[in-house]
Chain A
């Protein structure tokens, strides 16, 4: 049981490049989400999904796309990277969005945009 797996762990991009951050979970969780963590800002929700085929925006969605074709995978796409997207990105999953279901976090991806 691997839990929530994020790849890559580190990535450096140039401004304007695109890339996909991968997130996979093997716990059959319906709810998955992406957060970004910036210094002094805590974690902020980018996008979330309540099940395969269903996604919605969080607090800071601009510049990011997501899709959920399977229960297991929830990739985050940066279409044209900008220095403001330099951050640490966390994927999380849980059985539901309810607070009585603990969220399982991946180990994070540190992304630097030059």
Chain B
């Protein structure tokens, strides 16, 4: 079974600053996908960024980037130039590439990020 751990229940950052959210995971799979989802107060689940484990290059999406360390099983999210609209819960999630577990996204417990004006 896979587990995803987000060790920071809450974080805050000043507007325009950079913040990094941590995520570690445990799995015996060699091929898998990792995700960061954003959940604003509206409750929607919004995909922020995705990383494929077999790709060494870290994924980037505009102001969002990840630091993927496969050996350390670490997958952190960096938000640059933080904006007020980034205020949300952020969930790290994992899914194996294949096998019985590939039908289930495993989520961490989330990090509540507040962007301060």
Chain B contact residues (Cβ within 8 angstroms of A): what range? 20 to 34
- Checking B104, B109, B110 against A59 with a beta-carbon cut-off of 8 angstroms, the contacting residue is B104
Instruction: Assess the A42–B110 pair: CB atoms within 8 A.
Output: yes
What B residues does A103 contact at CB under 8 A? 47, 105
**With A102-B50, A105-B44, A108-B43 given, is the CB distance from A42 to B91 under 8 Å?**
yes
- Checking A33, A41, A99 against B50 with a beta-carbon cut-off of 8 angstroms, the contacting residue is A99
A78 to chain B, nearest CB (A): 20
* Stretch from B61-69, B80-88, B95-103 contacting the other chain: B95-103
Bound Cα distance A103, B33 (Å) = 12
What A residues does B97 contact at CB under 8 A? 98-99
A54 to chain B, nearest CB (A): 11
Bound Cα distance A45, B103 (Å) = 9
Q: Which of A31-65 contact B (CB under 8 A)?
A: 31, 33, 35, 40-45, 48, 50, 56, 58-59
| A100 on interface, CB distance cutoff 8 Å | yes
| B45 on interface, CB distance cutoff 8 Å | yes
What A residues does B52 contact at CB under 8 A? 99-100
**With A88-B43, A107-B43 given, is the CB distance from A58 to B110 under 8 Å?**
no
Interface bits B40-73 vs A (CB < 8 Å: 1, else 0): 0011110100101000000000000000000000
Q: Which of B10-60 contact A (CB under 8 A)?
A: 32-33, 35, 42-45, 47, 50, 52
| A97 on interface, CB distance cutoff 8 Å | yes
B106 to chain A, nearest CB (A): 8
Bound Cα distance A88, B89 (Å) = 15
Instruction: Assess the B47–A43 pair: CB atoms within 8 A.
Output: no
Instruction: Assess the B107–A42 pair: CB atoms within 8 A.
Output: yes
Instruction: Assess the A56–B103 pair: CB atoms within 8 A.
Output: yes
Nearest 3 Cβ contacts at the A-B interface: A99-B33, A42-B107, A105-B45
Report 6 cross-chain contacts, Cβ distance below 8 Å, ordered by A residue. A33-B103, A42-B108, A42-B110, A56-B103, A99-B32, A107-B44
